Amino acid sequence: MDIRERFEDPHVVILDGAMGTYLYQKGVPRGFCYDEVNLTMPQLVKEIHREYLNAGAEIIETNTFGANRFVLEEFFGIGDKTREINYMGARLAREVARTEAFVAGSIGPVSRPHDRRRTLSSAELEEIFREQIESLLEGGVDLLLFETYNCVEEMEVGIKVARSLSPQTPIIASFTFPNQLKTIFGEKITDIMEKVENLPVDAVGANCGPGPQGVHEAVRIILSLTPKPVLYMPNAGQARFIHGKFLYPHNPEYFAYYGEKTAKMGAKFIGGCCGTTPEHIRVLSQRLRGKRVKRKVKRVVLREKGESEDRGPARVETRVGKLLKEGKLLSVEVEPPRNPDFSEILKGLERWKATEVNALNISDSPMARVRMNPFSFAKIIKETLPLETIVHMTCRDRNLLAIQSDLLGASAMGIENILALTGDPPSLGDYPFATGVYDLDSLGLIEIINSMNSGRGFLGNPLGARTNFLVGASLNLNRIDQGELERARAKIGAGARFLVTQPVFDPAYLEGLLKKLETLGVPVVVTVMVLLGWKNAEYLHYEVPGIHLPPWVLKRMEGKRGKEGKREGVKIAREIYREARKMVPGILLVVPGENYGLVEGILD
């Protein structure tokens, strides 16, 4: 039988299991380029192929899932090895399979779901797919398997290239649905299948995902939506990180039970994905080899719970936003306490109830020094003081999961105003050996917040309700060139609705700066900082990036220490405050070292 006849034959076809996680299990370390193993450890790759062949696999996949130039270059710096890795991947599988099994060229997605700043054009995608597919075909694959996709549009480009290179080579298109029968972007199986039905592919299916049960449900729906042969290739289950290693459940009997159950339902191609091993395929083969495919699934309708189809931009309204429109925002930056006792800080903040101050900026462990969580402290202030809060949120300490989790919690607590920041690196602070996360920078954080304001998570998955965050962004005053203006525009385009400057010490410079910023179309909040003495002024001017003190300020602060230094610092801040108040709708007052009693001197 040739491969085309095998697609039309009424019997189940058994595929192999995982390659990457099995290489990891055999000692190839995490973080290593598993596709490059085709060149560095070819005998190990052949050994794994042989184990799957002996276990009963009728199709073995090439070790090329991530072997496209974009991934190889961006993550490992070996894009120049793309053709060699793919060709060798095909040859190694071909040498093992011979005439006993077919070889599927494994083609994973090119782009990564969280990479928002690197967008590939269709022409770039075509070139990337062409290089990989040409190499696989030259190496002798029998079919092409596009697997673990979330985006039909990207796969469509790859299939177009594949058909132009080899019109007769069979193609299987497989997606992953990890998010309650939706892709990671929140797209439903029904929508995916409607698009895929128009593509020139020979079979469709689901792989990876949450495990045998979840992928079984996805395949059940797919079977009801297409007459084409269907593939089922789940993970062994959920991985756990134990004693420094990722471990998947060892469940060959359970895995094979669901494989048989899915085959009885009508799936034709059955195999395994992450965490599965030759033992999983051996037990699966014992149950299924020689079994015929009989479809038994009726058409199903997906029911959505709590999902809003409105994906349009949210209209955010907060008290801080209103104060900015009225030109009346006056905020003071406050550092959360270093311990659970917040009573002393609150006593100090109560003095502002009788002043013009109407908001507090809550910092997020500035200079990477441990403080109370800013959202928690903002909640305390909200319950005890008649002041609005603007919470600083950094990308330093939180990964993508924690960022969204904290934002959901903040929304539930009624916190509505956020200043999005990248954050000072841990090397500056109390724990220089701590790991900085930085899954995102401030621009990416703004994108997340804006997406949640539209009722969607970062990758488009529905939340069921909108958040209501007014988000602001920082502005580097000492770099107001075209590049900085473009970055500010990018932040505004991502959803920022106001800008906060770094400390301003020269009103004349500020006036010219604001003219440049008029084209941005959002309110600007100017930061006015109190200098505490000559030593403080020197440090800020010479050691802190983004802060520049004009000569007249340095001259007035020179040699002044203690109370004299603070008095002069307050005088300078008052002068700057009075001038800036005439120009902008909002002022942020910053007093280092928790010297909050100096604020009244600025407002006199």
pLDDT at 116: 55
pLDDT at 291: 93
Residues of the chain under the 70 pLDDT cut: 113-118, 297-314, 478-481, 604
pLDDT at 115: 62
pLDDT at 479: 64
pLDDT at 313: 57
Helices (H), 26-121: 37-40, 42-55, 69-76, 82-97
pLDDT at 31: 84
| Local structure of 391: helix, strand or coil | strand
Q: Is the pTM of this model over 0.75?
A: no
pLDDT at 309: 46
3-state helix/strand/coil string of 149-176: ECCHHHHHHHHHHHHHHCCCCCEEEEEC
Distance between first and last Cα of the chain:
92
pLDDT at 566: 95
d(CA 360, CA 11): 69
Domains (range + CATH), the chain:
3-288 (3.20.20.330), 319-531+583-603 (3.20.20.220)
Chain-centre distance for alpha carbon 404: 10
E strands, 302-381, where? 329-334, 359-362
Contacts made by residues 396-401, CB under 8 angstroms, sequence distance 24+: 396/365, 396/368, 396/422, 396/423, 396/424, 396/425, 396/426, 396/436, 396/437, 396/438, 397/365, 397/423, 397/436, 397/437, 398/437, 398/439, 399/437, 399/439, 400/114, 400/439, 400/440, 400/448, 400/458
Contact 203/231 with Cβ under 8 angstroms?
yes
pLDDT at 113: 66
pLDDT at 349: 86
d(CA 193, CA 181): 12
d(CA 206, CA 78): 30
pLDDT at 258: 96
